[in-house]
Amino acid sequence: MMLRLAAAALGISFSLVSAMLFADSLRSRPAIAAAASVVADPQSWRGSGDTLDRYLSEQPLPGRCNRDGERSLVILELTRLDLLAADKSVSPLRLEQLRSGALARARHALACAPQDGGSWLYLAMLQQASGERRAEILHSLQLSRRFAPNAAFVLKQRLRFAGRLWSAEINGPRDPLGDLIVDDLTVLAEAGSLSDRKAIVAVLGPKIAPLLERVRSAAALSDAQ
């Protein structure tokens, strides 16, 4: 009798949990669709900072895990920060509050999916925007590479971001950030399309030339220059 009651109780619990997760999924669909739009055509979101700000301000604080929904919200948080930072009417205090909230959401997304290389990259971007230490940013980038070494979309985003960091700094010949860029460039050289290689090399610019020389498959990248 007790076993049947326990089984019945578990069945009810599983039903409730499933219903809650389904409701979360429904709520996250607008975020997933919006994030996909941002990724596909970021230019179309210019001038949408206020709209995105209102939408994100209505979202509940991080709670139950919904991997795709949480990662999508982090992408939208990054987009909101970019758009509002360009708006001179937004106060520095407001931007600081938004950065703090975005970092909390990014860390929650990683608590839900700690092996998500894309989410580690987004955390690194938010850490850089928040002025966190270089070592912390680099650690997040290294974890992004560890968990998503070959994922094309994450790889290209990571190269663009890491390349901007590299170009803005004075680096030694064997700097860990340079090592990461070389590893990613090697993957791109061996597996990326010619159009991808040309686009990335163009974005990275001339300061990255010493790293290109270290890439094992330099010949594959040279035809993109």
**Euclidean distance between CA atoms 13 and 138, whole angstroms:** 42
pLDDT for res 216 = 67
Instruction: Report d(CA 125, CA 146) in Å as an integer.
Output: 17
d(CA 188, CA 194): 9
Radius of gyration of the chain (CA): 21
Angstrom distance (rounded) from CA 138 to CA 147:
14
Provide the 10 A C-beta neighbour count for residue 27: 13
Domain locations in the chain as residue ranges:
1-148, 150-225
Q: At what angle do helices 194-204 and 176-191 cross, to 10 degrees?
A: 150
pLDDT at 194: 81
Which tokens in the block code for residue 170? 């004075």
Asked if 140 and 123 touch (Cβ cutoff 8 Å), the reply is yes
Q: Which residue matches tokens 């803005």?
A: 168
What pLDDT score was predicted for residue 117? 96
Per-residue pLDDT of the chain in tens (225 residues, 90 and over written 9): 433 323 233 233 323 222 323 334 334 567 888 787 777 777 777 777 888 888 888 887 777 787 778 888 899 899 899 888 888 888 999 999 999 999 999 999 999 999 999 999 999 999 999 999 999 999 999 999 999 999 988 999 999 999 999 888 877 667 899 999 999 999 988 888 888 888 888 888 888 888 888 886 555 565 665
Secondary structure tally for the chain: helices H, strands E: 11, 0
**What gap in Å lies between CA 25 and CA 119, rounded to an integer?**
19
Architecture of domain 1-148: Alpha Horseshoe (1.25)
Residue 145: both structure tokens together: 């590479």
